[in-house]
Amino acid sequence: MQPKLTIAIPTYNRIEKLQICIEKVLQQIEGKPVELIICDNASTDCTQEVLERINNNRFTYYRNETNVGPDNNFLLGYERAKGEYVMLLGDDDYFLPGAIDSILDALSKNPVMVYLNSSSLKKENPFKFSRPRFEEHGLLEYT
């Protein structure tokens, strides 16, 4: 079955942040029509070793043979995606609880595009977030 959403995480040499990002995504996608892929742009740190050690079939790890640059790595995320919709997620971006459910709810309306509000991370441990960039009004639909 084709997933509704592919979350593609491009990465390069940021395993500490990537591990947190993956953990936050995996906490929310269990049993949902969501595919998670990691697109490693030939990292020279321990990214490959760490991700290959994780015995988890809930994400697919792709490693480029050479660094193809950030733009091409982003495009590879789109090309490798099997989902009806694709979301690029920065390796240092973290979902708040309930984010995936909200995204899937918005996608159930078959939009052309979804814009997600965001806030910045003030402190990683424990996680503290600043206010969202824009005032919250729930799901808005435009025609």
Query: What are 84-127's pLDDT values in tens digits?
Result: 999 999 998 888 888 899 999 989 988 777 766 555 555 566 65
**pLDDT number for residue 112:** 77
**How far, in Å, CA of 102 to CA of 100, rounded?**
5
DSSP string, 36-61: EEEEE---SSSHHHHHHH---TTEEE
Task: Tell me how far apart the alpha carbons of residues 75 and 71 are, in angstroms, rounded to a whole number.
Answer: 6
- Place 129 in a pLDDT band, splitting at 50, 70 and 90: low
pTM across the whole model: 0.83
pLDDT digits (tens, 9 = 90+) for 8-66: 999 999 999 999 999 999 999 999 999 999 999 999 999 999 998 886 677 999 999 99
Q: Does 135 have pLDDT greater than 60?
A: yes
DSSP 131: -
What is the reported pLDDT for 131? 63
> Residue 116: what pLDDT?
64
pLDDT of residue 7: 97
